[in-house]
Amino acid sequence: MEILSPSTRNQDRGTKARRYAELGVRHYWIVDPEKKRIECHRLLDGAFRPLIDVDGDANFEHPDWDGLVIDLAALWR
């Protein structure tokens, strides 16, 4: 999981994502506190592919982990 900041935004989406994929990390989450958004990506064929993109104060359940529900409103407080 990477939490974006203005100084690391490009590195988190580019360099780090590619390196994690090379290492076989199966999931990569990007948290953008400014936009109140979470992007969940899954490794597929050596690259991360979008799985879930949620923003605002919604709740979401990750399909790869039964029962994992994240309350974004609580996260942004």
Residue 63 is part of a domain; what is its CATH number? 3.90.1570.10
Which residue intervals of 2-71 are DSSP H helices? Answer: 9-11, 17-22
Q: Report pLDDT for 8.
A: 86
At residue 37, the 3 state secondary structure works out as: strand
- Provide the domain limits for residue 29: 2-76
Distance, in Å, from the CA atom of 77 to the CA atom of 69, rounded to the nearest integer, reads: 17
Distance, in Å, from the CA atom of 23 to the CA atom of 51, rounded to the nearest integer, reads: 19
The kind and range of the H/E element at 49 are strand 47-55
Number of domains making up the chain: 1
Q: Report pLDDT for 6.
A: 87
Name the stretches of the chain with pLDDT < 50.
Answer: none
